[in-house]
Amino acid sequence: MTEPGPPASDPTRAWARQVADREVRPRAEEIDRSDRIPAELLRSLAHDGFFGLGLPSKWGGRSANTKELSAVLEEMSAASAAVAVTLAVHLSVCSLPIATWGTPAQQERWLPALVRGERVGAFALTEPGAGSDTAALRTRYERSPDGYTLTGSKTFISNAANAGLVLVFATHDPGLGSKGISAFLVPGPFPGFSVTQRFEKLGLRGSETTELLFDGVHLPSDALLGKEGEGLHVALGALMGGRVGIASCALGVARAAFEEMRAAVRAHDDDWKRIALARAFAELSAARALVDRAADRKDAGLSFQLEASVAKLVASRAAVSIASAGVDVAGPDGVRGSASAGRLLRDARVFPIVEGTSEIQELILGRALVEDAPSQRA
């Protein structure tokens, strides 16, 4: 029988699926309804090693390449997309950047706490007037003899509700464009740093999304991640890897929606439902191949920016398309308040927006296809 995804023969995938089925799936409906991930669940996942995936063992991390991390996020997302996205943000765009660009002292200070789940990592780039356009960044930093002072705000920031550790991007001078942007590690609680609003979202409920205020936040000099003026390099590097992770989360939702659809077709079979199922399987298969390709290229040390954009674009669309068709196939049962088909559709609809909108991925691809020889990447 054709299966919607790879069997759990890989040890990392098998481990993730077992934990997801035991710890996460039974709580998925309550997480969505309450818009909260239980703290004890996050502690349990950290204890099991999920918060240290891909991080150096010297800081308590657990070995995992991009392909293995992708498998973990897919399995978690098939159980609860909110949990998977919380984990993806913590790892891909906070912890891993510290492991990549941090000094030994920064790694020693922050990575053990992140691995143990004592701090949940966040990534703060988006502003009220600057989403995909980093040149419009307005959060400012000023140098001082003993450090830096941040002033400004960020919006739609995941994982920052409890302000564990936030990777924040600010500009010294907006007139300098990308060359004025630097990256800073801001722990919470911290004087002048506050969460001013928590957003209620259509989907990914439980994955907390907030607005942050930096009111003259004075940071020591060792809060700078990387060098001054290299913040955009740090951000784009983190986002490239993050897109593979988010594509994996979208793939998990797409797979869960396909599995629900197939169960509904088996219960109430007819030809049009079989056609819808076949189309969903084709979309799911294409998305999986692209996510795997991006992960494989990253693990091989090859350029993967375009592959990450394609994977994120196609997996996001597949999640929305399959989840929508799943509600149609489920009929009246699919629109009941407690129906998982409806939750999957709401979760899926967020993926074309986060980690760079679909339009941004298309712009990245369009520019590359004009400027580069596509045949070289086929």
Please list the active-site residues. Answer: 355
Q: Which of 149, 124, 120, 119 is nearest to 137 (CA)?
A: 124
Cα–Cα distance measured from residue 164 to residue 159, given in angstroms and rounded to the nearest whole number: 8
User: Per DSSP, what are the bridge partners of residue 212?
Assistant: 154, 195
Measured CA to CA, the distance from residue 132 to residue 43 in angstroms comes to 33
- Percent helix, strand, coil in the chain, to 5, is 60, 15, 25
With 0-12 / 13-18 / 19 or more C-beta atoms within 10 angstroms meaning exposed / middle / buried, residue 341 is: buried
CB 68 within 8 A of CB 232: no
- Show the 3-state SS of 79-136: HCHHHHHHHHHHHHHHHHHHHHHCCHHHHHHHHHHHHCCCCCEEEECCECCECCCHHH
Provide the 8-state DSSP code for 189.
Answer: S
Q: How many C-beta neighbours within 10 Å does residue 332 have?
A: 7
Identify residue 204 by its one-letter amino acid code: L
- DSSP label of 259: H
DSSP conformational letter for 153: E
The residue among 96, 235, 100 whose CA lies nearest residue 154 is 235
- Strand 193-198 and strand 181-187: the pairing is unpaired
Q: Tell me how far apart the alpha carbons of residues 164 and 120 are, in angstroms, rounded to a whole number.
A: 5
